Amino acid sequence: MALNIECVRKDFPNLSARGRDDKPLIYFDNAATTFKPCQVISQTHNHYCHRTANIHRGVHYLSEVATAEYESARDKVRRFINAKSLSEIIFTKGATESLNLLAQSYGRHFLKPGDEILLSMMEHHANIVPWQMIRDITGCVIKVIPINDKGEIILEEYRRLLSDRTKIVSVVHVSNSLGSVNPVAGMIRDAHAFGAVFVLDSAQGISHEPIDVQSLDVDFCVFSGHKLFGPTGVGVLYGKEDLLELMPPYQGGGDMILSVTFDKTIYNRLPHKFEAGTPNVAGVIGFGTAIDYVNSLGWSDITEYKKELVRYGTGLLQKVEGIRLIGTAANKAPIFSFVLDGIHAHDVGTLIDREGVAIRTGHHCTQPVMKFFGLAATSRASLTFYNTKEELDIFVAALRKVIGVFQ
């Protein structure tokens, strides 16, 4: 059964917000963050109204309820990505923190001078900078996997870069600036052939297609709740249990210990070893509800509909005079990056905002890939399942008006 978009849209109150000058809003900035369905909003609200308590620390009733709900969200995440065990799901504050945790714990502990980390040309700064910080401490080397001018990873080049020196391959699943869906299943197998661990940045991928960490055999996978219709301030690090066991804690504090004396501390078991301090309890519980929501729609309908949006949007945009689409991979998410002849992205962003259309302009935290395309900035419209073809029509008409202003 196809998605009933009208029905789905009713679940997202923010879709009826007004844009600039009280224009009806068209929200095409879903790669930055997604709106939250009322189910998530009321779950979070409910937590703060009726169930506020700290977790893992109380024998009182509310604390037990909050702990159970928090741990139940962990199980929802586990099932959502088909992880083997709850020990493998670590809550963080976002994809960025998950990557920093990996770099600081796994990277700092295991990397030696001369070891290599492979990153692709299209990585988000969150998947570059933490590794550079570790490179500067450990003396390892970062190598860049090239892409072609459609924005696809060049697999032959990737395989050529792999060697016994490769210890970590960290690659974006779906590019936030190009929309490319990378062929990660094969890339993971290739990395494993050289004994490297594979880190998957699914910040965008998590809302694009189902992820099965066991069938992918991926070693680590990171994502953020707020890009999957959940609250901000919640993220996940998935890691294979045996790897997580070998890793030292990332931060010290409460909850991550079993016992503390001034001489010696015994760390807690997984996953708590990596969750120091009071986490974002309401956020995690709300995130669990966001996962329920996505499951209730069903992946096959979501992916079908998104393909349709990619096809329709690409068709419309290609007809705009003076446009250059940046990122034209064969396998694409509905993320449209583009530049217009002689018009700077920021002017596009401001002028189209006057028509009520919210898009993102700039380098999208992916400066190296911008440089690869010889650009400082692009305009980016990123859609998700609550967006419609009618919205795409209005967006493209507004784009033509913007071009008109500069003629």
Partner 1 sequence: MTVHNDELYQQVILEHNKRPKNFLKLDSWTHSAEGYNPLCGDHLNVYLRVSPQGVIEEVSFEGDGCAISKASGSMMTVALKGKTVDQARALFNEFHRLLTKELDPEKDQNILGKLNVFSGIWKYPSRVKCAVLAWRTMKGALDQEKTVATE
Among 170, 176, 182, 337, binds ligand PLP (CB under 6 A): 176
Between 312 and 406, CB nearer to partner 1:
406
What would you measure as the largest C-alpha separation in the chain, in angstroms?
73
Between 254 and 362, CB nearer to partner 1:
362
Closest separation between CB of residue 401 and partner 1, Å? 5
172 is a site residue for ligand PLP (CB under 6 A): yes
Structure-token pair, residue 340? 């217009």
Among 54, 63, 347, 388, binds partner 1 (CB under 8 A): 347
Q: Which does 340 bind (CB under 5 to 8 A by kind): ligand PLP, partner 1, none?
A: none
Structure-token pair, residue 368? 């190296």
362 is a site residue for partner 1 (CB under 8 A): yes
Query: Per-residue x/- mask for ligand PLP, residues 340 to 379, rule CB under 6 A?
Result: -------------------------x--------------
Among 51, 150, 344, 389, binds partner 1 (CB under 8 A): 344
d(C-alpha 115, C-alpha 195), whole Å: 12
Nearest to 225 by CA among 335, 361, 76: 76
Catalytic residue among 7, 38, 140, 365: 365
Closest separation between CB of residue 343 and partner 1, Å? 8
Q: Which stretch binds partner 1 (CB under 8 A): 116-124, 307-315, 328-336, 359-367?
A: 359-367
Q: Which does 192 bind (CB under 5 to 8 A by kind): ligand PLP, partner 1, none?
A: none
Q: Which does 11 bind (CB under 5 to 8 A by kind): ligand PLP, partner 1, none?
A: none
Q: Which stretch binds ligand PLP (CB under 6 A): 56-64, 185-193, 201-209, 295-303?
A: 201-209
Between 53 and 103, CB nearer to ligand PLP:
103
Among 83, 95, 281, 291, binds ligand PLP (CB under 6 A): 95
Asked if 171 and 117 count as a contact pair (C-beta separation under 8 A), the reply is: no
Is residue 221 part of the annotated active site? The answer reads: no
Calculate the CA 215 to chain-centre distance. Answer: 20
The DSSP call for residue 106 is: I
The H helix count followed by the E strand count for the chain is 15, 15
Residue whose token pair is 């699914």: 202
CB atoms within 10 A of CB 339: 21
Pairing of β 335-340 and β 378-382: antiparallel
124 is a site residue for ligand PLP (CB under 6 A): yes
Q: Which stretch binds ligand PLP (CB under 6 A): 6-14, 79-87, 178-186, 200-208?
A: 200-208
372 is a site residue for partner 1 (CB under 8 A): no
Closest separation between CB of residue 405 and partner 1, Å? 6
Q: What is the CA radius of gyration of the chain?
A: 22
Among 89, 228, 351, 358, binds partner 1 (CB under 8 A): 351
Q: Which stretch binds partner 1 (CB under 8 A): 120-128, 134-142, 168-176, 355-363?
A: 355-363
Cis geometry, peptide bond prior to residue 113 (ω within 30 degrees of 0): no
Calculate the CA 379 to chain-centre distance. Answer: 19
Q: What are phi and psi of 381, to 5 degrees?
A: -105, 120
Among 370, 381, 383, 396, binds partner 1 (CB under 8 A): 370
Q: What are phi and psi of 118, to 5 degrees?
A: -105, 125
Asked if 370 and 179 count as a contact pair (C-beta separation under 8 A), the reply is: no
HEC string for 156-211? HHHHHHCCCCEEEEEEECECCCCCEECCHHHHHHHHHHCCCEEEEECCCHHHCCCC
Nearest to 336 by CA among 290, 381, 280: 381
Calculate the CA 129 to chain-centre distance. Answer: 16
Asked if 318 and 325 count as a contact pair (C-beta separation under 8 A), the reply is: yes
| SS3 call for 141 | strand
Structure-token pair, residue 128? 């570059």
145 is a site residue for ligand PLP (CB under 6 A): no
Among 343, 359, 383, 396, binds partner 1 (CB under 8 A): 343
Applying CB under 8 A, the residues found at the interface with partner 1 are: 20, 343-347, 350-351, 354-355, 361-363, 367, 370, 376-377, 401-402, 404-406
User: Which positions are annotated as active-site residues?
Assistant: 365
